[in-house]
Amino acid sequence: MILAVGLNHYLVLSALIFSLGVLCMATKRNAIGILIGVELVLNAANINLVAFSKYNAGVGDGHIFAVFVILLAAAEAALAIAIFMNFYNTLRTIDVDRGDELRG
Amino acid sequence: MDDLAFYIFAAVSLLSAIGIVASSNIVRSAVCLLGTLGGVACLYFVLDANLLAVIQLIVYAGGTLVLMVFGIMLTSKSPWVGFRATRGQVAGAVLVAILMAVGISTLVLTAEWSQSANAPLKTSPSVAEVGEMLLTDYLVPFEVASVLLLVVMIGAAYLARTEK
Amino acid sequence: MSQITLPWIEKSPETLSGYRRKAILLLFVLAVGHLGIALVSLFAFKPGQLADWKIPFVLALVLGASLAGMAFTAGAFGVVFYRIIGKFLRWSYVAFALFLGGVVGACLIVWLHAEIFTFIKGLSAAEGEHRVWLLAVPYDHTVRNIYAGLEAIGVEVPVLAYALWPLQFEFIRDLVALGGIIGFISIIPAFGIWWERKVSARIQSRMGPMRVGGWHGWLQSPADGLKLIFKEDIIPPEGDPLLFRLAVYITFVPPICAFLALPFAAAWVFRDLDVALIFILAMLGIEVVGVILAGWASNNKWAVYGSMREACQMVSYEIPMGMSLLIPIMMAGSLKLTDIAGAQAGGFWNWFVFANPWCFIAFFTYYCAALASCKRAPFDLPESESELVAGFLTEYSGFRWSLFFFGEYAAMFIVAGLAVILFLGGWSSPIPEAWINSFLTAVGASPDGFFGTLARGLLAGGPIIFVLKATFLFYVQLWVRWTLPRVRIDQVLYACVQVMLPLVMVLLLANTLWILGTDHLQWGWLNVIDGILHWILVGIGVIVALAILCIALYGFKNNKRLVGQLAVVDQLPGS
């Protein structure tokens, strides 16, 4: 029965969220919007890891990987925001399409 | 009951993810991100990954999201400024995203997974087990990650400082 | 200016008493009618006569009619005896009696509920397969089955079998438990706000609310709540109306979710999560998102200032708060709140706050950080009324505004409850249970008899002790708020990053080494020092507790005199 939830449901959900994250990265011109897209993509990957850890005979490796992904996402967000602040201080805007000069 | 929970939380996270993409107001996008993060955290609860669910809530929703809203507040001149991509760009991006979603889904649904994909085989590790794994099998990545966090902390503070 | 008219007040006394007579008649007729329906259905439907799908309707008929009948009876008696009730409410200590009665009553109801649930689980399952009509959820016990079980213990009331039937589902049980939690959460702000006003009045030598409800204005908060519901609801048109509405719920719901994992006693917890502590911290952390959004969506300079301060403060104080909480976790070796509290049972000298000096200091660092993360004074920068109008609350009015306070008071209770569970022994009483048992046998009461069970339930630990302890720490929050001046925002951040964070790190490291030395390496000399320090700390704790008790008794004894003196202006301080 298709309504009984199995591994595939989680994988499809993750694929959808991943695509939405990519779409978000592609359509937003606000730098923080792009960061939000990245977070979506990472979340999609995490769903995969945890679902595989639950449905295939893992020993919890998926959980560990997911913990590291969350950790790296947090680190990445902190750095990205710091870079955006610098970007804004230099260009007085957060529109990524305006950051096309090589000179700072 | 678990199935019902899955459908509810999956719907919440998907709808909020669509909200993120569809909203032109960046603050609203961030609020929708809260919905997605919360929905995914609830899915972790459904998957018996309690530790991961609370880490998701405390790090993403309590920390990263606050940081993002903070960044939005500091970098926008007016709350309602929205930069929109051009129509052609949006159309191309939507096309690519749909192709990607369909492609990955087909790949996933046709793949032969090594184990039976519809019955959970093992009870998930408890918090104590995850902790033990972190400090034995994964000790080196754990320590490297802590060093990385330190580096990131210093780097972010250096980048975000004001020029004297 | 048009004259405000209140039609029901401007009637003549004769007309009013006519209305009253009609109301009494109507209410009594309705009450008798509903009770009649309930009684008829009580005897009309015998278990086994009905198909299963009719059960919910019969249940609605019986329970609904009896509840409505009781409500109408109560209403009718209220209208008849309103003067006597008014007099009764004006007695002293009615508020305390009602509050304690409410807590005890809630405990009794939950306990009864648990007993009934074990009773149903203990019944033998009915033959055949049964499914709920339409939903196809399987269940074990039919009404006939439950009735047979009731007959076996000598209760021959058919309706009771119908009433017990839904309780076999976990879902229904969860719903009842949620109802209890939400009821408790609505009591906290109502009681807490009134109490805060009385405490602040006491500290400032005033009276505080005195009129509404009788004794010391104890109905003031429900009256204020009623007023707030009817106030005009203003949404700034230049802001973001959607986020303005949403922010309230993001602030208000997480503290309530935190109650789902907060144990009130060993078995008194909605979900005993193995990550309960981090879950509660996460919920308190999400609250801040709502506050930031509230400030942002208001499109008001002061509101944005308030929410920026809130963001800085919350994010930075979460770190010392979480790190101080690591110390009791390390002592207990578990993240489960029930385990942590269980490790401290058996006398107040076992509480973690007295375990070693590091825990003792960590209790205070936790409490300060918790004050800051609840935005309570002296850290109430986000809503500091003398600088920022009302901070992020500036644009809010009416019921939305009061929902923020629901969230705030719920969060205050949660941090107090966490402090109790992690440092102050949770729900275990200061006196060991063995002493109570031997005392009971000494006075000739069996510890397992009725009075013995009651005494043990009240004294040896349980939800009532937990609520009392948490209420004390809640009171300390009020006390601090009305005693200390507010600090500046840069001082708040300085205190966190440069004072509290290094201190907590040192504590964490020291505690780790200390436990390593005493528990794992078993160094003799360190164990001796540990024992001496432990008893010194216990001594400090006893002295502080006795001092607080003496001060409270002194204040209580001089209560009447002080209020009498206040009328004489000459004796006011500074005159």
The verdict on C300 and C200 lying in the same domain is no
DSSP state of C168: G
Confirm whether C509 is domain-assigned.
yes
Query: Mean of the pLDDT values across residues C567-574?
Result: 46
Q: Which residue of A has its CA nearest to B10?
A: A13
Tally of domains in chain C: 3
The verdict on C183 and C310 lying in the same domain is no
Confirm whether C444 is domain-assigned.
no
- Residue B143 clears pLDDT 50, i.e. is over it: yes
pLDDT for A39-59, tens place per residue?
999 999 999 888 888 877 666
Q: How far is B73 from chain A (nearest CA, A)?
A: 11
pLDDT for B58-86, tens place per residue?
888 888 888 888 888 877 765 455 566 77
Query: Considering CB atoms only, which of A6, A59, A81 is closest to B117?
Result: A6
The verdict on C497 and C372 lying in the same domain is yes
Contacts of C240 in chain B (CB under 8 A): 25, 27-28, 79
Q: Contact C99/C192 with Cβ under 8 angstroms?
A: no
Q: Which carries the bigger pLDDT value, residue A68 or residue C376? A: A68
The verdict on C496 and C355 lying in the same domain is yes
Contacts of A84 (CB under 8 A, 6+ apart): A31, A32, A35, A94, B71, B75
Amino acid C137 reads V
Query: Mean of the pLDDT values across residues B19-27?
Result: 84
Q: Which residue of A has its CA nearest to B85?
A: A27
When pLDDT is cut at 50, 70 and 90, the band that residue C575 belongs to is: very low
When pLDDT is cut at 50, 70 and 90, the band that residue C571 belongs to is: very low
Amino acid C212 reads V
The verdict on C350 and C492 lying in the same domain is yes
Query: Mean of the pLDDT values across residues C274-299?
Result: 86
Tokens of C430: 């200061």
Q: Contact C397/C234 with Cβ under 8 angstroms?
A: yes
The verdict on C390 and C507 lying in the same domain is yes
HSE, CB side, 13 Å, CA atoms: give it for residue C76. 17
Where is A70: in which H helix or E strand? helix A61-91
Lowest mean pLDDT among C4-13, C226-235, C391-400: C4-13
Q: What does the alpha-carbon distance between residue B137 and residue C105 come to, in Å, rounded to a whole number?
A: 51
Instruction: Scan for tokens 């201080």, then name that residue.
Output: A89
The verdict on C163 and C196 lying in the same domain is no
Structural domain boundaries, residue C48: 15-90+123-168
The verdict on C139 and C238 lying in the same domain is no
Verify C-A touch: 3 or more CB pairs within 8 A. Answer: no
Q: What does the alpha-carbon distance between residue C260 and residue A73 come to, in Å, rounded to a whole number?
A: 28
The answer, yes or no, to whether the previous bond of C209 is cis (omega within 30 of 0) is: no
Confirm whether C112 is domain-assigned.
no
Tokens of C353: 């706050």
Tokens of B117: 């994909």
Query: Mean of the pLDDT values across residues C83-96?
Result: 71
Q: What percent of chain C has pLDDT over 70?
A: 79
User: What are the backbone dihedrals phi and psi of residue C130, each rounded to the nearest 5 degrees, phi first?
Assistant: -125, 140
Q: What is the DSSP string of B70-88?
A: HHHHHH-SSTT---B--HH
Q: Which carries the bigger pLDDT value, residue C444 or residue C423? A: C423
Contacts of C501 in chain B (CB under 8 A): none
| Chain A: touching chains (3 or more CB pairs < 8 Å) | B
The verdict on C383 and C365 lying in the same domain is yes
Instruction: Scan for tokens 């002293």, then name that residue.
Output: C92
Instruction: Scan for tokens 């390390």, then name that residue.
Output: C330
Q: How far is A60 from chain B (nearest CA, A)?
A: 6
Query: Mean of the pLDDT values across residues B23-41?
Result: 87
pLDDT at C572 (0 to 100)? 43
CA angle A9, A12, A16 (to 5 degrees): 135
Tokens of B107: 């790949």
Lowest mean pLDDT among B24-28, C397-401, C431-435: C431-435
Q: What does the alpha-carbon distance between residue C259 and residue C181 come to, in Å, rounded to a whole number?
A: 7
Q: What does the alpha-carbon distance between residue C341 and residue C314 come to, in Å, rounded to a whole number?
A: 27
Q: Which carries the bigger pLDDT value, residue A25 or residue C233? A: A25
Mean pLDDT over the full length of chain C: 78
Q: What does the alpha-carbon distance between residue C164 and residue A35 come to, in Å, rounded to a whole number?
A: 53
pLDDT at B78 (0 to 100)? 55
Q: What is the DSSP string of C355-383?
A: TSHHHHHHHHHHHHHHHHHTT-TTS-GGG
CA angle C370, C373, C375 (to 5 degrees): 110
Q: What does the alpha-carbon distance between residue C399 and residue B54 come to, in Å, rounded to a whole number?
A: 31
Identify the sign of the CA torsion C267, C268, C269, C270.
positive
- Residue C544 clears pLDDT 50, i.e. is over it: yes
Q: Which residue of B has its CA nearest to C243?
A: B28
The verdict on C413 and C356 lying in the same domain is yes
What part of A 53-92 touches B (C-beta under 8 Å)? 53-61, 63-64, 66-68, 70-75, 77-79, 81-86, 88-89
DSSP-assigned beta bridge partners for residue A95 = A30
Which domain-ending residue is among C186, C213, C230?
Answer: C230
Instruction: Test B71 with A85 for CB contact under 8 angstroms.
Output: yes
Tokens of C247: 């922010």
pLDDT at C301 (0 to 100)? 82
3-state secondary structure of C262: coil
Instruction: Scan for tokens 């509480």, then name that residue.
Output: C351
Judge whether B140 is closer than 8 Å to chain A, CB to CB: no
User: What are the backbone dihedrals phi and psi of residue A95, each rounded to the nearest 5 degrees, phi first?
Assistant: -75, 115
Q: Contact B127/C335 with Cβ under 8 angstroms?
A: yes
Amino acid C547 reads A
The top-scoring range by mean pLDDT among B111-115, C151-155, C550-554 is: C550-554
Judge whether B55 is closer than 8 Å to chain C, CB to CB: yes
Q: Per residue in C90-113, is it b (16+ CB within 10 Å) or e — as a string?
A: eeeebbeebbeeebeebbeebeee
Instruction: Scan for tokens 């016990």, then name that residue.
Output: C141
Give all domains of chain A, ordered by start, each with its CATH number.
7-92 (1.10.287.3510)
Lowest mean pLDDT among B84-93, B121-130, C130-139, C353-362: C130-139
Instruction: Test B61 with C250 for CB contact under 8 angstroms.
Output: no
Q: Contact C508/C363 with Cβ under 8 angstroms?
A: no
Instruction: Test B109 with A8 for CB contact under 8 angstroms.
Output: yes
Amino acid A91 reads L
pLDDT at C570 (0 to 100)? 45
How far, in whole angstroms, is CA C297 from its chain's centroid?
A: 30
Query: Considering CB atoms only, which of B47, B82, B89 is closest to A51?
Result: B47
Q: Contact C435/C456 with Cβ under 8 angstroms?
A: no
> Nearest CA to C345 among C417, C433, C456, C415?
C433
Confirm whether C408 is domain-assigned.
yes
Confirm whether C275 is domain-assigned.
yes
User: What are the backbone dihedrals phi and psi of residue C139, each rounded to the nearest 5 degrees, phi first?
Assistant: -145, 165
Amino acid C65 reads A
Burial (0-12, 13-18, 19+ Cβ within 10 Å), C448:
exposed
Which domain-ending residue is among C180, C215, C230?
Answer: C230
Q: How far is B33 from chain C (nearest CA, A)?
A: 12
Three-state SS string across C517-529, please?
HHHHCCCHHHHHH
Q: What does the alpha-carbon distance between residue B13 and residue A17 come to, in Å, rounded to a whole number?
A: 8
The verdict on C45 and C162 lying in the same domain is yes
Q: What does the alpha-carbon distance between residue C536 and residue C242 come to, in Å, rounded to a whole number?
A: 57
- Residue C57 clears pLDDT 50, i.e. is over it: yes
Count CB atoms within 10 A of the CB of residue C188. 22
Confirm whether C468 is domain-assigned.
no
**pTM of the predicted structure, to 2 decimals:** 0.81
How far, in whole angstroms, is CA C538 from its chain's centroid?
A: 29
How far, in whole angstroms, is CA C3 from its chain's centroid?
A: 43
What is the residue-level pLDDT of chain A in tens, covering all 104 positions? 556 777 788 888 999 999 999 888 888 878 888 889 999 999 999 998 888 888 776 667 888 888 899 999 989 988 888 888 888 877 777 777 777 776 65
Q: How far is B27 from chain C (nearest CA, A)?
A: 8
Burial (0-12, 13-18, 19+ Cβ within 10 Å), C232:
exposed
How far, in whole angstroms, is CA C356 from its chain's centroid?
A: 30
User: What are the backbone dihedrals phi and psi of residue B29, each rounded to the nearest 5 degrees, phi first?
Assistant: -60, -45
Q: Contact C477/C371 with Cβ under 8 angstroms?
A: yes
Contacts of B70 (CB under 8 A, 6+ apart): A81, C292, C308, C311
Tokens of C106: 């809630």
The verdict on C244 and C137 lying in the same domain is no
pLDDT at C504 (0 to 100)? 92
Contacts of A32 (CB under 8 A, 6+ apart): A81, A84, A94, B26, B30, B68, B71, B72, B75
Q: Contact B79/B27 with Cβ under 8 angstroms?
A: yes
Tokens of C375: 């935005």
- Residue C229 clears pLDDT 70, i.e. is over it: yes
Q: How far is B25 from chain C (nearest CA, A)?
A: 10
How large is the C-alpha radius of gyration of chain B? 20
Judge whether B14 is closer than 8 Å to chain A, CB to CB: yes
pLDDT for B148-159, tens place per residue?
999 998 988 888
Confirm whether C445 is domain-assigned.
no
